[in-house]
Structure formats: structure tokens, C-alpha cells
Amino acid sequence: MFDKEMNLKVSDFGAAETKNTSSPDYLIGTLSYMAPEIFARKEYNGQQVDIFALGVLLSILVKGTMPFRVAKIEDGYFRLLYLEKYDEYWEKV
């Protein structure tokens, strides 16, 4: 999307869905783009999590696939990035 000054705006339509917000596991947005601190329930810094989501988006644009399924240590590809095993990550993707 673009604003009235033609600046590109990225939007997560996953945040537009309605769910039972009383659940303690409730998260708004698309899981694949969420920063690890959101899953860990750490303090929310909008600018940092937006930059993380932008990194996911740029990875998709460059390689044509998601860099990982979710930013959790249980995800094998994310674990490689978390452990800074970049060469091994790029060999596998």
C-alpha cells in the first residue's frame, strides 16, 4: 500500500482477523512474520518487530520462499540463524 505521499506501507492482514482475544495464547498477526520476542512475551518494541518482519519480507523477495516457518528455536531453519550458523542455513535453504 502507499500513503498519500506515495511512501510504501507494508501491512499484515493477519492482524485484521477476529479471534477470541481472552485466550492467553492470543497473538495478532501472521505468525511467520512475528519477531521471536513476541513469542517469548518480552517487552514490545514496534520499530524492532517491524524491522524483523521487513527482513522476512525481503528474504521472500530475494529467494522466493519463507526464511523459516516461525521465529522459534523449535523451527530448524530459525535455529540455525539464532545460533549464527549462517553457512549451514544457506546450504539447507
pLDDT at 87: 96
Nearest-angstrom CA–CA distance, 34 and 56: 9
**Cross-strand pairs, 8:** 2
Contacts of residue 55, Cβ cutoff 8 Å, sequence gap at least 6: 67
Per-residue model confidence (pLDDT) at position 30: 85
pLDDT of residue 23: 59
Which residues, other chains included, contact 64 with Cβ-Cβ below 8 Å and sequence gap of 6+?
Answer: none
Q: What is the rounded average pLDDT of the residues 27-53?
A: 87
Rounded to two decimals, what is the model's pTM? 0.76
Has residue 11 got a pLDDT over 90? no
Kindly tell me the sign of the dihedral angle through the C-alpha atoms of 31, 33, 39, 44. negative
Q: Which three cell numbers stand for residue 71?
A: 521465529
pLDDT tens-digit map of 47-90? 898 899 999 999 999 989 999 999 999 999 999 999 999 999 99
* Strand, helix or coil for residue 49: helix
Domains, the chain, ranges and CATH? Answer: 13-92 (1.10.510.10)
